[in-house]
Amino acid sequence: MGLESKKFEWTLPVPNVQELSNQQLETVPARFVRDDVCGVINTVPSDDCLPVPLIDMSKLANPEFQELELQKLHSACKDWGIFQLINHGMSDEILRNTSKEVLEFFQLPLTEKNRWKQKPGRFEGYGQILVASEEAKLDWNDMLLLTTHPIQNRELEFWPENPPKLREYLDKYSEDIKQVAINLTRFFAMGLAIEGQELCEAFQEGGFRVKMNYYPPCPQPEKVLGLKQHTDSSMFNLLLDCSITPGLQVLKDGHWYFVKPIDGAIVANLGLFAEMVSNGIYKAPLHRAVVNNSQTRISIVTACLPNSSFNVGPAKELTKAGTPPLYKTVTVDEFFSMFLQSKKLGVPVIDTLKISC
């Protein structure tokens, strides 16, 4: 399903960032220094967090409040491309215990974590992804990436058995976050006034990947990025911050702003599929992760995609009355083939999908 079904050579060995941080270095290795962020202060500010829209999913499901909340959702998708979900249906226990198990995994000795490290030509496991060459700039993070759905696509050799309950809680977490995605897809379609049944059904057997990110302190946070700026190749990415340390930044009106963590909330970020289905009404925003010199940040990010044969492109309801489609229609598998090709060419995949007027 998508990238995880592709075999490629880009998982080159890279330095372990957590171990570098533990060495108390005064300067970061050259491969992490990014000229485009030098001079930018990335330390956590006290009052520079962006109050992104807050969407209450319980109101979306309640006929009494639904119309107003749908208007808020539509505005959030149109004007921001990112919002925070509350009352999403996931229990505090699942969120808390999953966060705890993920933290315990990253606290294991490196030799133990490496039992589940990535292998050449494989997408999943512990390490970093899509490192194409020895000269490629690296992000200041370590991560564990796993496919959770479809269940038959799980590569359990990369699912840690230590801590002992990590698999159990990841399984529960992934089932619950999948339901959040399906519900959100239904409301997404309602906000656009398009038929949503086929889209929701495509997520029942859709592809879901969970990426657990570990951002340790950095001696020169103004020279690195925890995760370089990008748009997501998904319908939504759903993020759980496992601490109160801000690190996610979104680009809005030419400025980078922090997204302040809210206890128990899920950050929903629109991906390129949402931009394509909405025929450009909604935008997949540029976002990145930054680090600081004193605090560790951990996040759990779920990429949510429809099934591999689903046709991704402008909804037919949005291309009537003389409004032309702005994007090609492709299957999910075709999209990711184009994504890998565009990655090698250094061209944004969305540019290859735009239809010239």
What's the average model confidence in pLDDT over 54-72?
97
pLDDT in tens, 7-60: 444 566 788 999 999 998 999 999 999 887 644 444 334 455 557 899 999 999
What is the spatial distance between Cα 232 and Cα 84, in angstroms, rounded to a whole number? 17
136 pLDDT band, cuts 50/70/90, is confident
- Token pair listed for 43: 């330390």
What's the average model confidence in pLDDT over 57-70?
97
Q: Where are the beta strands (DSSP E) in the chain?
A: 49-50, 54-56, 82-86, 125-127, 142-149, 207-215, 227-230, 236-241, 248-252, 255-259, 266-270, 287-289, 297-305, 311-312, 330-331
**Under a CB-based contact definition with an 8 Å cutoff, are residues 28 and 216 in contact?**
no
Q: What is the pLDDT of residue 37?
A: 67
**Under a CB-based contact definition with an 8 Å cutoff, are residues 218 and 28 in contact?**
yes
Q: What is the pLDDT of residue 304?
A: 97
Distances (CA, A) of 343 to 12, 70, 100: 16, 36, 34
The residue among 310, 118, 164, 144 whose CA lies nearest residue 213 is 144
- % of the chain with per-residue pLDDT over 90: 77
What's the average model confidence in pLDDT over 64-68?
97
pLDDT in tens, 256-287: 889 999 999 999 999 999 999 999 999 999 99
Q: What is the pLDDT of residue 139?
A: 93
- Token pair listed for 72: 């808020």
What's the average model confidence in pLDDT over 148-154?
96
Q: What is the pLDDT of residue 9?
A: 46
- Token pair listed for 332: 């999910």
What is the spatial distance between Cα 203 and Cα 81, in angstroms, rounded to a whole number? 20
Q: What is the pLDDT of residue 213?
A: 97
Q: Which helix (H) or strand (E) holds 63?
A: none
What's the average model confidence in pLDDT over 116-129?
84
pLDDT in tens, 328-346: 999 999 999 999 888 778 8
What is the spatial distance between Cα 149 and Cα 322, in angstroms, rounded to a whole number? 39
What is the spatial distance between Cα 195 and Cα 192, in angstroms, rounded to a whole number? 9
> In CATH, which superfamily holds the domain spanning 2-353?
B-lactam Antibiotic, Isopenicillin N Synthase; Chain (2.60.120.330)
Q: What is the pLDDT of residue 340?
A: 83
Distances (CA, A) of 189 to 77, 162, 183, 185, 272: 11, 40, 10, 6, 15
pLDDT in tens, 306-334: 999 899 999 999 998 789 999 999 999 99
> Residue 4: is its pLDDT beyond 80?
no
Q: Helix (H, G, I), strand (E, B), or coil: what is residue 133?
A: coil
What is the spatial distance between Cα 169 and Cα 94, in angstroms, rounded to a whole number? 7
Whether residue 163 has a cis bond before it, omega within 30° of 0: yes
Hey, where are the domains in the chain? 2-353
Q: Which helix (H) or strand (E) holds 314?
A: none
> Residue 6: is its pLDDT beyond 80?
no
Q: Helix (H, G, I), strand (E, B), or coil: what is residue 182?
A: helix
pLDDT in tens, 230-264: 999 999 999 999 988 999 999 988 888 899 999 99
147 pLDDT band, cuts 50/70/90, is very high
**Under a CB-based contact definition with an 8 Å cutoff, are residues 126 and 116 in contact?**
yes
Planar angle of CA 44, 47, 53, nearest 5 degrees: 100
